[in-house]
């Protein structure tokens, strides 16, 4: 994952749909408050992702980086093999 992609992933706009539009009483939540809640949710998710990444050993981070840099524009290909089994 590139640095640019990870920054885009944690934009508050991406978390806005997770924030409720109304209070439990049914009154609407103001848009400015929903944006603040979305920003807090994005910051929390980014912090959790960094903590999770910190737990990954260095050797595994290098493998992931090597894999990402190897063929970034190609998607993995699934190969289907059909086997015939004979039952006695």
Determine phi and psi for 22, rounding to 5 degrees.
Answer: -135, 155
Tell me how far apart the alpha carbons of residues 19 and 21 are, in angstroms, rounded to a whole number.
7
Average pLDDT (20-44) is 95
Check: CB of residue 35 under 8 Å from CB of residue 12: yes
Q: What is the pLDDT of residues 37-88, one digit of tens each?
A: 999 999 999 999 999 989 999 998 888 888 777 755 666 656 666 655 555 5
Count of residues in the chain: 88
| pTM of the predicted model over 0.85 | no
């Amino acid at each position: 994952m590139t640095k640019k992609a990870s920054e885009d992933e944690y934009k508050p706009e991406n978390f806005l749909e997770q924030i409720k539009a109304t209070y439990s009483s049914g009154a609407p939540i103001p848009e400015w408050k929903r944006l603040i809640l979305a920003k807090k949710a994005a910051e929390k998710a980014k912090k959790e992702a960094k903590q999770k990444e910190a737990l990954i050993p260095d050797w595994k981070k290098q493998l992931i980086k090597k894999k990402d840099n190897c063929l970034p524009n190609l998607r993995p290909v699934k190969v289907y093999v059909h086997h015939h089994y004979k039952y006695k």
